[in-house]
Amino acid sequence: MPTSLQNDIGDRLSQALQHVSISEDAIEQLRYPKASLTVSIPVRMDDGSLRMFQGYRVRYDDTRGPTKGGVRYHPRVTLEEVQSLAFWMTFKCAVMDLPFGGAKGGIALDPKELSKLELERLSRGYIDAIADFIGPDVDILAPDMYTNATIMGWMMDRYSTIRRQHAPAVVTGKPLTLGGSQRRDTATAMGAYLAIATIMGKFSQKPNQTTVAIQGFGNAGAVLATELAQAGYKVVAVSDSQGGIYAKQGLNIPSLRQYKEANRSMKAVYCQGSVCNVVEHEVISNEELLQLDVDILIPAALGNQITGENAHKIRAKWIFEVANGPITPHGDRILASRGVQVVPDILVNAGGVTVSYFEWLQNRSGLYWRGEEVSQRLQERMVHETECVWSLAQEKDIDCRTAAYVRGLQRLGEAIVAKGTRDYYLS
C-alpha cells in the first residue's frame, strides 16, 4: 500500500484512537484494504482505433456487510486515490450505521474527450473486467465524479447480462425506470443541508445573518446552494472548474442555475422568464473563493483543496466538507489551531450513500418508496447521526472530525470483536 495513504490513514486513526478503546486486531485490520483490483479496459473508438484505459476497484473492509462505493471518471484517478476513498467510505457507512463496508472505483480518463458511444463501451468494458469482484452481496457500485444515472444503468445492464439474471441491486444511482430510487439525484446535497441546519441551529446566529461560499457548482453544490438560499442563508460566492463569482449582497441561486444551464458559464444574474440581466459581481478564482471572509465555507469540488500551504489564509468560521477529502491532515491541524470548526465529509456528504442504501433495499425487496418517504427516512438518519457526532464532540471536548471517526471506530470495532479477537481466544 502506498506510503502516503498509510500516513493519511494513520493520522486519521491515531487522532480518533486517543478517545476510544478498541481491539488491537481491529486497528490492524483497518490499516489495510481487503482487496484491490487493477484492470486494463480495451475500447474500440469511433474512428476504429483501439485505446486502453486503466481502471481500479478497491474493497476496503466488509466486516459490517458488502462493500459500497462510487465509480469516478477523471484523468487523475489512481489506485492510491481509490484506496483512500474506499477507506473514507468504510467510515462513512459506519458513521451512518449502514450495513455496508467501504469501497471505491474509478477509471483514469477525461470523459469530455469521449463520445457517448465510447463512454458506453468503456462503462460496459469496466464491468466485463470487474464482474467477478462485485455483486449485490459482495460490492455495490454507485455514481461519483463525472458518472451519472445513465452510466450506472449501462453497468447494471452489463452485469445482468453476464450473470444471466436481472440484478438491479449491484448498482445504485440508476435511472428510476431501471430500479433507481426517488430523490437519489439530490441525496448528497439534501444530506449536507440537513447536517448544516442541524449544527448551525444550535447557535443564535440566524440563517439570514449567515454568509456562505461554495466551491463546486455541480449537482451537489448547485442543489445545496438552492436549499440554503431557500432556507434564508446568504450565498455570496460559488465556483465551478473555470472559476467563481462573488456578490457581497448575495447571489440569486435559481437565476444563476438557469443561466449556467443555458450558457455553460456562470454570472451573477437575475432572471425573469428567459431574460437574464447581469447584476454587480466580482469574478474570482477557486483559490480566492476559499479565502473569502464568510461564516460558512463549503468545499464541494475536488479533494486536497485546503492544505498546509493555504490553511492559514482561510477566514471562514465553519467548514462543511461536501467533497471527499478536501482538507489534508496538515491543513486540518492549522485550521484547528485557528479555531475553525470543520464538519467532516464522512458525515456531511453521507446523504448519497444513505439513499443508495435505500435503493439497494428497494431493489432487494421489490417494494419501492415514494419520494416523500425517502426524504423522511433520510432526514431522520442524517439528523440523528449529526446530533450524535456533535454530542460526542462536546462530551469528549474534541473536534467534529475526530468525533465522527470515533463513532465509526466504535461500530467497526464492535463488529470485528464479534468475530473473535486475540482477547477472546486467549481468555
Rounded to whole angstroms, how far apart are CA atoms 218 and 256? 12
196 and 96 in a common domain: no
Residues 135, 138, 144, 146: is their CA dihedral positive or negative? negative
1 has pLDDT over 60: no
Tell me the CB-side half-sphere exposure of residue 298, using CA atoms within 13 A.
32
Q: In this structure, are 155 and 196 located in the same domain?
A: no
Mean pLDDT of 162-186: 97
Whether 151 and 246 map to the same domain: the answer is no
Does 196 share its domain with 322? yes
Is 102 within a domain?
Answer: yes
Looking up residue 57, the CATH number of its domain turns out to be: 3.40.50.10860
Q: Would you state the torsion angle of the CA atoms of residues 4, 8, 13, 15, taken in this order, to the nearest 10 degrees?
A: 130
- Judge if 98 and 196 occupy the same domain: no
Instruction: Tell whether 194 and 279 lie within a shared domain.
Output: yes
Question: How do strand 211-215 and strand 234-240 relate by DSSP bridges?
Answer: parallel
Q: Mapped to the 3 state alphabet, what secondary structure does 270-291 carry?
A: EEECCEEEECCCEEECHHHHHC
The answer to whether position 83 is within a domain reads yes
User: Can you state the angle between helices 371-396 and 351-365, rounded to 10 degrees?
Assistant: 130
Could you tell me if 65 and 130 lie in one domain?
yes
Query: How many other C-beta atoms lie within 10 A of the C-beta of residue 75?
Result: 12
Cell 491532515 maps to which residue? 329
Q: Among residues of the chain, what percentage have pLDDT more than 90?
A: 80
Q: pLDDT at position 2, please?
A: 45
In a domain, 90, yes or no: yes
Mean pLDDT of 343-367: 97
- Element containing residue 28 per DSSP (H, E): helix 24-30
Angle at which helix 187-200 crosses helix 219-230, to 10 degrees, equals 40
For residue 323, being part of any structural domain is answered with yes
The reply to whether 26 falls in a domain is no
Let me know whether 44 and 149 are in one domain: yes
Is 104 considered catalytic here? yes
Q: Look at the chain and report how many structural domains it folds into.
A: 2
Lowest-confidence region among 10-19, 178-187, 224-233: 10-19
User: In angstroms, what CA-CA distances link 382 with 307, 312, 356, 378, 396?
Assistant: 28, 31, 14, 6, 21
Bridge partners (DSSP) listed for residue 139: 67, 135
Instruction: Show the domain range for 253.
Output: 187-343
Last-in-domain residue among 132, 167, 202: 167
User: Does residue 351 sit within a domain?
Assistant: no
Q: Is residue 17 part of a domain?
A: no
What pLDDT, in 10s, does the model give residues 187-222?
999 999 999 999 999 998 899 999 999 999 988 999
- Is residue 360 one of the residues assigned to a domain? no
Q: Tell me if 238 sits within 8 A of 225, measured CB to CB.
A: yes
Work out the burial of residue 254: count CB atoms within 10 Å of its CB; fewer than 13 is exposed, 13-18 middle, 19 or more buried.
middle
Kindly state the DSSP code that residue 351 receives in the 8-state scheme.
H
Residues 326, 206 share a domain: yes
**In this structure, what CATH number is given to the domain that contains residue 290?**
3.40.50.720
Do 142 and 233 lie in one domain? The reply is no
Residue that terminates a domain, selected from 167, 196, 212: 167
Catalytic pick from 34, 68, 92, 104?
A: 104
Give me the mean pLDDT over the 146-156 stretch.
Answer: 96
